[in-house]
Amino acid sequence: MESQLGLIEKSFNVKYLDGVREALDELPDSFTITDPSISGHPIVYASRGFLKVFGYSKNEVLGKNGRVFQGPKTNRRSVMAIREAIREERGIQISLLNYRKDGTPFWMLFNMCPVYSEKDGRVVHFLGIQVPILRRRNSLGGGIGRNGGVCYDGGNCREYVYKCCRREVCSNSTMEVDRALSVDTVSGLDHTEVDVEGPCEASDQEKTKASVAVNNIMSVLANYSELNGRLVSDRRCCQSGTSLLSASLNISFGRIKQSFVLTDAHLPDMPIVYASDAFLKLTGAKAGPFFSSIGFLRHEVLGRNCRFLSGEDTERGTQFQIKQCIQNEQPCTVHILNYRKDGTLFWNFLHISPIRSASGKVAYFVGIQIEDTNESWEKQGLNPEMRHRSVVAAVKVAVRGWSMGASTS
């Protein structure tokens, strides 16, 4: 079995040309890069700026999950929002209270975005930018406010109060403002005045700093991945499989009113290449008395592996059972705990079956989802097994008919 350190090395060596670490080391920002394909979603790269801000050495950080920098006062809702963004493979920008190695807390603007493979649209890494948040106190007003980015204390000194520290800057030079936001300045400040209760809003300047950092880092990653023949991007430019399904197949699948997805057995990580309207509705926000159900948009689903419906409470044994059936090209039926778009749980009576082309080879896998409630079953009329079989039969007929036509054309 390959060691964790070996997997971390491979995470970079396979995707980028030699020298990418040195190029990233030249950037002044505080950031980490993590790999969701490795167990535990560990950090595979930490910038020098990050190590300065948090007070760790590189060896203490690599292989660790980002949650080790959280502490007792870190807002759990913010943590769950980040986890949800990771599960849905999307970006997020949020204020977060983190802790240094010595235990001192500080507020930061956390900007996370997925790094996609241009080839198949898969998420290969997550990039996390950390910008320390500067809070400014206006002594004359007796409160906390902003005045064109600078608040005066009544004299010639401008006072900057960080959520993690306090510093007085006795200069009229605007260069001091930028220096106050720099990694070197923040990492060397006193950490005695900390309002850990929050919330702490980032300024437009801090948000811009995070966005600029993302662009600079992605430019390096794109350059070194392109030279290696494995171009990456911060946008899912390749919606895997959307161009692989013919118009006739899409029309045939559109007639099936059940919740189901089709995944391509021949593409890496078996991405979803078709999702029915019923699937988008089932996996969306649960409808209430005053609002309608808000589901996924189709482009949010296509190109992703079905794992995005799983979460912390999903049984690993059930996931392993599904994986084994797929590897053996066998159908399986399981009860699995899944997550909707809004984070609510539902029991999914899931059936997965291989779909073979006219040549007899497995071309796709179909997954049929039925919410496991008596009300849902009674509403549909047929028992769930019959509904599973009817969808499989309809998909098989459509795929075989299409593949026969394609082979004779």
Q: Dump the DSSP string for 246-310.
A: -HHHHHHHHT--S-EEEEETTSTT--EEEE-HHHHHHTSBPPBTTB--B---HHHHTTS-GGGG-
The amino acid at residue 124 is: V
User: Does the model's pTM come out above 0.75?
Assistant: no
Q: What is the pLDDT of residue 212?
A: 92
Question: Which residues does 369 contact at the CB level (< 8 Å), separation at least 6?
Answer: 259, 260, 261, 279, 282, 283, 338, 348, 349, 350
Report pLDDT for 193.
Answer: 56
Residue 370 confidence (pLDDT): 93
pLDDT tens string, the chain, 409 residues long: the values are: 456 778 888 888 888 888 999 999 999 999 999 998 888 899 999 999 999 999 999 999 999 999 999 999 999 999 988 988 887 778 899 999 999 999 999 999 999 999 988 877 788 899 999 999 976 443 333 333 333 332 223 333 333 333 333 333 333 433 444 444 455 545 544 444 556 666 688 888 999 999 899 999 999 999 899 877 788 887 765 444 444 466 678 888 988 999 999 998 887 788 898 999 899 989 874 444 433 445 677 777 888 889 889 888 899 999 999 999 999 999 999 999 999 888 889 999 999 999 998 778 898 999 999 998 765 555 555 688 899 999 999 999 988 887 775 544 4
- pLDDT value at position 130? 96
Rounded (10°) CA dihedral 179, 180, 186, 190: 130
